[in-house]
């Protein structure tokens, strides 16, 4: 029975690979919700689990960089400081650390292994996790190159925004199926997609119901997934063309994503949602004051204000009229956020982070290699696994990509996309600071980074043309031609 969904996936992958490139983009986002589904029987890979999204990402990488010219383009981006050089340096340092440090510091550094069957801290030793985590990080880095190359055209931007909606719809669909197991016998329908070898926490019960996990390994990863789709759809929807998708389907998806995020009962997702709510208010105020020249950013301001005011007024009236309606909400927030510090999982995650941080000092900032130790904070995971130097390169790339680069003055859609990406990055990043166990920044962030770089590629070409036109040689050539 498990071979049927595997066969279906590979048929879809083959169909997408031989067709137009946007097919793989739709499959890529649609596959993100299947984080517990092994598309290759783990017994064939010595227990290693390969899920759909990384496989589709590899197909995209092969599809876009199989030619000699494309490889030369990728090499050019990797060696230019204004493009992806900082990201390439991060990957290079991470590779060196992973290949040498687990052996250099073997037995001398205390770590918490990534494997779920290893309980507690122990001495560092080389393992298969080093290679698997290096593979996943390499795929994420390569996908930044792919999206940077692919999303420069308006047509592909339109496809990727529609694919984002498909991915959100799949997250909603799988979440509703999992939630429906409380009322209908749907477990048999979900079991063939829960074949990963790592621990799957899919049946955790809480006081007021079940923690919804969809087809992800646990509630926190499902909450992070719904949060990522929620913020991306909310802030990028303005760059979509007017029509059924943007004006009807996206609002429904946003409401459903909020509902499923709430049902995940993930404290990290709740924290991220709070950041998202603050960012949404700040972004609206910024657009109302400083974005009047951009029709993409200025559209819908009054309607959004009226909807927000109406929702807030309705909630206030309901709370005043029926105060008991607020009790389940405050109880859940108190249990899963305010009292989280008293839980055993919080203590365990704090222990992971402390051990990982101690490993940074024990290795003099060199790191223990990717997959060497577990943390519960993305930045600590980066520093302890990849090393301090690699972490600085990564942070330099993030700042350059999201804060320093600018879209071309004439590219109003690129400006809207870049603004949306910046606001969409905040909430998942804050959430990753409390649940990030791996130094791999992930495929969703790879999409955001690549989209940001692509949205500013026209600006680089524009500045290059201006610089060439204003150079002394150009001036002399123009004068001679006159």
Window from 328-342, 381-395, 433-447 with minimum mean pLDDT? 328-342
Residue-by-residue DSSP string for 147-187: HHHHTTSHHHHHHHHHHHHHHHHHHHHHHHHHHHTTTS--H
Domain boundaries, the chain: 78-125+343-416+438-482
Q: How far apart are CA 446 and CA 250, in angstroms?
A: 22
Q: Which residue has the higher pLDDT, 167 or 292?
A: 167
pLDDT tens for 205-261 read 655 667 899 999 888 899 999 999 999 999 999 888 888 999 899 999 999 999 999
| 114 φ, ψ (degrees, to nearest 5) | -75, -25
Q: How far apart are CA 434 and CA 352, in angstroms?
A: 11
Helix (H, G, I), strand (E, B) or coil at 271: helix
Window from 167-171, 195-199, 261-265 with minimum mean pLDDT? 195-199
pLDDT given at position 13 = 95
pLDDT band at 412 (very low <50, low <70, confident <90, very high): confident
Q: Which residues contact 306 (CB under 8 A, 6 or more apart)?
A: none
Q: Which residues contact 333 (CB under 8 A, 6 or more apart)?
A: 270
pLDDT given at position 342 = 58
| 123 φ, ψ (degrees, to nearest 5) | -70, 145
pLDDT tens for 459-481 read 544 444 444 444 444 444 443 44
pLDDT tens for 74-117 read 888 999 988 899 999 999 999 999 999 999 999 899 998 876 55
pTM above 0.85, yes or no: yes
Task: Specify the pairing of strand 209-210 against strand 205-206.
Answer: antiparallel
pLDDT given at position 7 = 93
């Amino acid at each position: 029975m498990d071979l049927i969904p595997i066969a279906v996936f590979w048929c879809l992958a083959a169909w997408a690979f031989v067709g137009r490139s946007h097919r793989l983009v739709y499959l890529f986002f649609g596959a993100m919700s299947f984080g517990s589904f092994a598309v290759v029987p783990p017994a064939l890979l010595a227990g290693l689990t390969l899920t759909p999204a990384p496989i589709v990402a590899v197909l995209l990488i092969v599809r876009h960089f199989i030619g000699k010219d494309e490889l030369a383009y990728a090499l050019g981006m990797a060696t230019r400081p204004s493009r992806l050089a900082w990201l390439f340096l991060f990957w290079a340092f991470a590779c060196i650390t992973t290949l040498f440090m687990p052996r250099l510091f073997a037995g001398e550094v205390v770590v918490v292994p990534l494997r779920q069957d290893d309980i507690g801290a122990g001495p560092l030793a080389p393992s298969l996790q080093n290679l698997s985590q290096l593979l996943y990080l390499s795929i994420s880095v390569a996908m930044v190159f792919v999206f940077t190359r692919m999303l420069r055209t308006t047509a592909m931007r339109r496809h990727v925004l529609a694919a984002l909606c498909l991915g959100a719809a799949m997250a909603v669909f799988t979440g509703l199926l999992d939630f429906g197991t409380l009322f209908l016998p749907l477990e048999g329908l979900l079991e063939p997609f829960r074949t990963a070898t790592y621990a799957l926490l899919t049946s955790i019960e809480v006081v007021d119901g079940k923690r919804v996990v969809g087809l992800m390994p646990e509630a926190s990863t499902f909450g992070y997934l719904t949060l990522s789709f929620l913020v991306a759809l909310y802030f990028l929807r303005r760059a979509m063309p007017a029509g059924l998708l943007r004006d009807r389907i996206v609002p429904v998806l946003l409401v459903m994503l909020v509902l499923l995020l709430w049902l995940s009962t993930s404290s990290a997702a709740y924290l991220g949602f709070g950041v998202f709510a603050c960012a949404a208010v700040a972004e609206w105020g910024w657009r109302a004051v400083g974005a009047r020249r951009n029709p993409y950013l200025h559209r819908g301001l009054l309607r959004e204000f009226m909807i927000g005011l109406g929702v807030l007024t309705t909630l206030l009236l309901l709370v005043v009229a029926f105060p008991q309606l607020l009790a389940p909400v405050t109880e859940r927030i108190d249990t899963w956020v305010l009292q989280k510090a008293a839980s055993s999982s919080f203590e365990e995650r704090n222990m992971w982070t402390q051990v990982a941080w101690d490993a940074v000092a024990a290795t003099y900032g060199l790191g223990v290699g990717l997959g060497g130790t577990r943390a519960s904070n993305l930045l600590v995971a980066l520093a302890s696994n990849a090393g301090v130097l690699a972490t600085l390169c990564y942070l330099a790339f993030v700042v350059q990509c999201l804060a320093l680069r600018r879209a071309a003055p004439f590219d109003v859609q690129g400006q809207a996309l870049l603004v949306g990406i910046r606001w969409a990055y905040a909430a998942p990043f804050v959430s990753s600071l409390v649940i990030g166990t791996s130094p791999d920044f992930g495929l969703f962030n790879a999409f955001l980074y690549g989209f940001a770089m692509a949205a500013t590629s026209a600006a680089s070409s524009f500045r290059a043309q201006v610089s060439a036109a204003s150079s002394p040689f150009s001036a002399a050539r123009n004068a001679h031609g006159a």
